[in-house]
């Protein structure tokens, strides 16, 4: 048995198939052929029996003859399509029964086979459909997980979005609850609507101008006012969402309520001037506040020798150390091995100069778990204004960071699966999209693209051939050379992919649209669909073109066998400056060994 057939059998082994045929001999042969290859096979003799079996067993896929007594295959297909428009249906028809075939096509039949039935074609058709079904099921699962992650983030944070003018377009339930305003009341307003008067209009506008113009993430504490007049404080992160050209599309803000902490700090500032008889009362209240703050925040004190002199219970609990294991020990005991030493040197330079340092820190607990915290380190001074120690206040954001990382990973997985859907129409492609993604990332790094662009290219490049979903099987999987008309149909897949993705506001999907549209353009202007030339072709398209061709030539396809490596390299040398960007070809050749490592790592099983 060929490797290809082994792969097909692996795909179809979990299929539950409904098969309908009134001819006893044909039915017996197909039943004998499929038994043992699929999970369940439900067999019937006409459309009426088939519809009953469908309602009883809810199969994954239906194979049906058209001309049958009592109820034809197309009549049954219409009934099933009325209930389930997604279930794949394959019809079997006589070679000359064009009228019934057209009727089936109008019903949205997924595929058709002609009599006498070729079992080789049948098994390949089932394999392609099974692979598509598997990917759809995986994608539905991923979408479901994404929704759950979104729900968790919504439950744990105050989320809002604004347009380019700073007008609110979305707030979640927690934002509504803490502010006292509904989404309807906030929509179209700027954040100035909830700003407390302590923050001047000039300061507010200056902050927003900085976020808009510098296009970087802003972090800080903001004092706001509720609808009922009460104040609240939020630890805020505002991030501009950029398109591929670096233009801001919208702003997303994530906030955490720190009203208790900020209120306590204000209280202490007010109490710093208390004298005489009020002193004992102030001390008592301060103790109560200290207890409250200790219960809700992670504290550590560090002496001037950079040793830990105090930590509260939450600190010990979070990082899994006992008091005896930390007190007197260097603060560096908490340093994470993945964080470079120069980062810690910069932090110490700031605080030892007397400034407050704020930022996100990754720390490793005693058992080796990663902990993420928003950290503020404040130099504490004596009456002579000399630094005596440092106070570190931490807010554990490990869960939020982990959720964010999982969301990003899930998004990458979803896009990779979408790319695979574009390839399912050709079973021979195997790990093609995975290799193309890895080749594209490597070539992007060698070219010197910024890290963010390399990550976008890596994530988006698997979707370069998503447009193949719109190409008929008869053209896409035709063995041998296409006719002129077939080739024109085949070329439309780049525009189909572009049209599927172009309307998205998401940077990765916008990049995927560009890659789909440009990866068949050629350096000399002889490519398609727009005959772009040279650097008019987006760098993502130029990189993916080399990755795609290198992998395609080295893999078996329905229309050819894999080429030897020397023959592939000769083609790239010949097409340097004709098909491909000459600089990219030189980088590819110079680093060929690294590309071959990727090829061998993800070779077909």
Third-level CATH fold of 3-117: Rossmann fold (3.40.50)
Kindly state the helix (H) or strand (E) to which residue 497 belongs, with its residue range.
Answer: helix 493-501
> What residue ranges of the chain have pLDDT lower than 50?
274-277, 279, 282-283, 285-286, 288-289, 292, 428
- pLDDT at res. 253: 86
Domain boundaries, the chain: 3-117, 158-257, 297-396, 403-601
- What CA–CA distances, in Å, run from 31 to 74, 77, 321, 378, 537? 21, 20, 66, 77, 53
Work out the number of other CB atoms within 10 angstroms of the CB of residue 97. 17
Listed in sequence order, the residues at least 6 apart from 359 whose beta carbon sits closer than 8 Å to its beta carbon are 347, 374, 375
Name the CATH architecture for the domain at 158-257: 2-Layer Sandwich (3.30)
Query: Could you read off the pLDDT of 139-149 as tens digits, one per residue?
Result: 777 666 556 65
Q: In whole angstroms, what separates CA 471 from the centre of its chain?
A: 26
Instruction: Judge whether 524 and 578 are in contact, CB under 8 Å.
Output: yes
Q: Is the pTM of this model over 0.85?
A: no
Give CA torsion, residues 560, 565, 570, 576, to 10 deg. 90
* DSSP 8-state assignment for residue 275: -
Q: What is the DSSP letter of 429?
A: G
Cα–Cα separations (whole angstroms), residue 432 to 11, 29, 123, 410, 547: 17, 35, 22, 20, 10
CA-to-CA separations, 369 to 272, 339, 363, 404, in angstroms, rounded? 40, 14, 8, 17
Where does residue 505 rank: exposed (0-12), middle (13-18), buried (19+ CB within 10 A)?
exposed
Distance, CA of 548 to CA of 527 (rounded, Å): 15
- Architecture of the 297-396 domain: 2-Layer Sandwich (3.30)
Distance CA 413, CA 12 (A): 23
Q: Which of 399, 391, 407 is nearest to 372 (CA)?
A: 399
Distance CA 12, CA 131 (A): 8
Question: Distance between CA atoms of 528 and 521, rounded to whole angstroms?
Answer: 5
Q: Please report the pLDDT score of residue 484 as a whole number.
A: 86
| HEC string for 461-472 | HHHCCHHHHHCC
CA separation for the pair 13, 37 (Å, rounded): 6
**pLDDT (tens digit per residue) in 37-77:** 999 999 999 999 999 999 999 999 999 998 899 898 889 99
Please give the Cα distance from 132 to 15 (Å, whole number): 12
Q: How far apart are CA 211 and CA 80, in angstroms?
A: 55
The secondary structure of the chain in percent helix, strand, coil, rounded to multiples of 5, reads: 55, 20, 30
Look at residue 470 in the predicted model and tell me its pLDDT: 77
Decide whether 3-117 matches 297-396 in CATH topology. no
> What is the per-residue pLDDT for 537?
96
The answer to whether 363 and 338 have CB atoms below 8 angstroms apart is no
So what CATH class is 403-601? mainly alpha
| The length of the chain, given as a count of residues | 605
């Amino acid at each position: 048995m060929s490797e290809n057939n082994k792969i097909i059998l692996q795909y179809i082994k979990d299929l539950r198939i409904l098969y309908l045929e009134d001819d006893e001999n044909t039915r017996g042969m197909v039943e004998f052929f499929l038994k043992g290859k699929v999970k369940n096979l439900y067999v019937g003799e006409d459309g009426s029996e088939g519809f009953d079996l469908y309602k009883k067993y809810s199969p994954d896929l239906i194979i049906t003859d058209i001309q049958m007594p009592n109820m034809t295959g197309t009549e049954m297909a219409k009934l099933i399509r009325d209930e389930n428009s997604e279930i794949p249906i394959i019809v079997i028809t006589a070679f000359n029964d064009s009228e019934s075939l057209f009727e089936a096509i109008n019903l949205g039949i997924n595929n058709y086979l002609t009599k006498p039935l070729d079992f080789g074609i049948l098994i390949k058709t089932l394999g392609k459909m099974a692979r598509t079904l598997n990917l759809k099921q995986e994608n539905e699962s991923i979408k479901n997980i994404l929704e759950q992650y979104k729900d968790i983030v919504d439950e744990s944070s105050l989320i809002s979005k604004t347009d380019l003018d700073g007008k609110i377009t979305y707030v979640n339930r927690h934002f509504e609850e803490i502010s006292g305003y509904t989404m309807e009341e906030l929509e179209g307003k700027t954040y100035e609507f909830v700003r407390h008067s302590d923050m001047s209009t000039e300061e507010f506008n200056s902050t927003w101008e900085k976020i808009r113009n510098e296009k970087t993430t802003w972090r800080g504490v903001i004092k706001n006012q509720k609808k009922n007049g009460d104040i609240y404080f939020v630890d805020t992160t505002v991030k501009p969402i950029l398109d591929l050209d670096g233009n801001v599309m919208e702003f997303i803000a994530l906030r955490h309520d720190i009203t208790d902490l900020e209120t306590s700090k204000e209280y202490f500032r007010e109490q710093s001037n208390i004298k005489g008889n009020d002193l004992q009362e102030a001390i008592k209240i301060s103790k109560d506040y200290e207890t409250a703050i200790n219960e809700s925040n992670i504290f550590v004190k560090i002496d001037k020798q950079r040793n830990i002199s105090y930590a509260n219970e939450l600190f010990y609990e979070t990082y899994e150390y006992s008091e005896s294991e930390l007190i007197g020990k260097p603060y560096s005991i908490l340093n994470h091995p993945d964080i470079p030493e120069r980062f810690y040197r910069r932090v110490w330079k700031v605080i030892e100069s007397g400034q407050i340092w704020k930022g996100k820190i990754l720390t490793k607990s005693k058992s080796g778990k990663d902990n993420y915290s928003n950290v503020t380190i404040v130099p504490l001074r004596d009456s002579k204004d000399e630094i005596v120690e440092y106070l570190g206040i931490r807010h554990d954001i490990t869960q939020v960071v982990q959720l964010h990382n999982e969301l990003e990973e899930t998004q990458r997985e979803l896009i990779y699966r979408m790319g695979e859907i574009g390839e399912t129409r050709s079973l021979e492609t195997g790990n093609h999209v995975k290799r193309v993604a890895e080749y594209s990332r490597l070539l992007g790094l060698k070219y010197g693209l910024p890290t963010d662009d390399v990550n976008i290219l890596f994530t988006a490049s698997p979707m370069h051939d998503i447009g193949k979903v719109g190409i008929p099987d008869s053209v896409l999987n035709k063995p041998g050379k296409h006719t002129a008309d077939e080739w024109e149909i085949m070329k439309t897949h780049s525009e189909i992919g572009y049209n599927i993705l172009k309307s998205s506001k998401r940077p990765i999907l916008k990049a995927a649209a560009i890659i789909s549209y440009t990866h068949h353009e050629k350096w000399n202007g002889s490519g398609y669909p727009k005959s772009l030339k040279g650097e008019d072709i987006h760098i993502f398209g130029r990189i993916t073109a080399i990755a795609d061709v290198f992998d395609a030539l080295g893999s078996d396809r329905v229309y050819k066998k894999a080429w030897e490596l020397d023959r592939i390299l000769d083609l790239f040398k010949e097409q340097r400056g004709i098909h491909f960007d000459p600089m990219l070809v030189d980088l590819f050749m110079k680093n060929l060994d690294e590309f071959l490592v990727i090829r061998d790592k993800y070779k077909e099983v």
